[in-house]
Amino acid sequence: MKKLILSLALLSATSLAFAQKKVVREAEKGYKSGNYDAALTAINAAATNPETSGDPATFLLKAQIQTKMFGSDSSNTMETVEMGAEALETYNKSFEMAGADKSSGVGKDVYAEDMPGVPDNMRPYSILTLKNISFDKGIERYNVEDLEMAYEFFNLAGEIDQKDTTIHYNAGFLANDLGKFEEAKKHFGYLLEVPEYNKLNAYYFMVQILSTEEKNPEAAYELVNKAKADYPNDKVLAEYEIQLLLQLNKMDEAMAQIKDALANDPNNTGLLLRSGYLKEQAGDTDGALVDYKKSVEVDPNFFEGNYYTGALLLEQATKMLNTLNDLSDAEWEKQSPIIGKKADENYKSSVAYFSKALELKPDNTDIMIILFQVHNRLKNTAEAEAMNKKLTELLGPNWQEN
């Protein structure tokens, strides 16, 4: 009797295990035939049953079914991304259950190499298949200018492989473009950890985010120093360093860096402009004017060079005229024509620079107002009236009262 009871118990257990394995086989059948909803229902049942829930192969199959569903969804919306994220979570669970070993068993299958472009039935449908499908979806969204969703798919692909530089550059670039600066820093940060990768662009983006968006010049300057250790001869990094030193009010250090940079690149208009600015701040307006003028000689179409040169000429003229205020009446009578003539020479010289700046930016009303005032000072009636006419058209007849 006991033997009969034992035999019945064994039969019952065997039947239950067989039934659960049958559910797994049903899931495999649906997976292969394309009936993914039925396959997912079956594998979910197996994943919650004690007989099959402890087998990492059960969750590998579930992840493969989810990946098939993810790939077949052409809507490529946020719901698609969430489907892919669920598949990733299932792959990770299967891998952990298999001992997190990529060299054998289910763990090896989870990370089986995927070759995009081969027939679908030859793809392993591993976690790397999920990465490649997500990347392809990112490209598809980018091509139709759906940048938000393109980023989401690149980001998902990047979660799978933190060393895929193409994925993380695309994700970082889009995140920065979309104003997702923390996300951009995350992806560019991954790029900075890849030894053989050319990190210059990643450094550029990171420095700009830190200095401009986060207004953290200290962190940006620290990163520039790290970048210069990797790329000591890069001119862009040298200019970033100077710009950040100026932001940090480290004028002496900035001037030293500018001198070094100009020794290697004497016709760099940006460096000449910064050199002039530092000299002007230090009170050396003559030296500043030399640098500003040289920047325009190098590039006559350099807007900032033209504008700064004209502005400094006017500032020098104003200072000249202000010196008359401290003179006695007798001395004023004597010096006024001399100093006035020198000031007018500066006014006349400034016209060429401001006129060129206006040519480069023809809608800049600030420059028009400056030219109107200078021409009035020089009694250039026709030129002043021409500026007045433009300003009236752009700002209205009462522009001088505003």
Distance CA 71, CA 226 (A): 41
Q: Where are the beta strands (DSSP E) in 284-332?
A: none
| Listed residue (171, 185, 175, 172) closest to 137, CA to CA | 171
Pick the CATH number of 17-161 from 1.10.3470, 3.40.640, 1.10.10, 1.25.40: 1.25.40
Q: Which helix (H) or strand (E) holds 402?
A: none
pLDDT attached to residue 264: 86
pLDDT attached to residue 38: 93
pLDDT attached to residue 223: 97
| Listed residue (183, 131, 177) closest to 158, CA to CA | 131
pLDDT attached to residue 291: 95
pLDDT attached to residue 290: 96
Per-domain residue ranges of the chain? 17-161
Place of tokens 């007798």: 330
The CA-based dihedral angle spanning residues 172, 175, 176, 181, taken in that order and rounded to the nearest 10 degrees: -100
Ramachandran category for residue 202: left, alpha or beta (phi over 0 → left; psi -120 to 50 → alpha): alpha
Q: pTM for this one?
A: 0.72
Give me the numbers of helices (H) and strands (E) for the chain, helices first please: 19, 0
Amino acid identity, position 252? D
Distance CA 57, CA 19 (A): 17
Distance CA 255, CA 239 (A): 12
pLDDT attached to residue 157: 98
Render each residue's pLDDT in the chain as its tens digit; 402 residues: 444 444 434 434 444 444 456 778 888 888 988 899 999 999 999 899 888 889 999 999 999 999 999 999 999 999 999 999 999 999 999 999 999 999 999 999 999 999 878 888 889 999 999 999 999 999 999 999 999 999 999 999 999 999 999 999 999 999 999 999 999 999 999 999 999 999 999 999 999 999 999 999 999 999 999 999 999 888 788 889 888 988 898 988 989 988 988 998 999 998 999 899 888 888 899 999 999 999 999 999 999 999 999 999 999 999 888 888 888 888 888 888 888 889 899 999 999 999 999 999 999 999 999 999 999 999 999 999 999 999 999 999 989 887
